[in-house]
Amino acid sequence: MNISSAIVYTKDGNEAAEVAKRIDQVKGCEVIAAQDGKIVVVMSAENLDGEIELFKALEGVEGVAGAAMIYSYQEDLQQDIESIKKSGKISEILLDENIDAKDIVYNGHVGDRVK
């Protein structure tokens, strides 16, 4: 079981209550608080894949500008780690514990996500 929380940012701060109602309809999500265009959500899923799907679902709710994961707890972390390693979806550089983080070059772009 994975338990996590996120802060959801609404596109229009005045619509937080309406967006919170939509989020409450997403199975596995529970709205804890909503104020000034920010909504605190607790999510529960069976595993890491489920947690990721819930996070994507949050981002897809009408009126949501973005979401930020705040906390994540996994009961069986080792099982999820092994599953991810076997999936081949993670770069080898991230799996090698002997690589110094200073040697990893970042080539991403987050400018369109940051406001």
pLDDT, one tens digit per residue, over 12-36 is 888 899 999 999 999 999 999 999 9
What residue ranges in 11-110 does DSSP mark as E strands? 29-35, 38-45, 64-74
Q: What is the dihedral of CA 16, 21, 23, 28, to 10 degrees?
A: 140
Is the whole model's pTM more than 0.75, yes or no? no
Q: How confident is the model at residue 84 (pLDDT cuts 50, 70, 90)?
A: confident
Q: Which of 57, 54, 11, 18 is nearest to 34 (CA)?
A: 18
What is the reported pLDDT for 102? 81
Q: Tell me the CATH number of domain 2-75, given options 3.40.190.10, 3.30.70.920, 3.20.20.10, 1.10.40.30.
A: 3.30.70.920
Q: Which amino acid is at 31?
A: V
* Rg for the chain, CA atoms, rounded: 16
What is the reported pLDDT for 99? 81
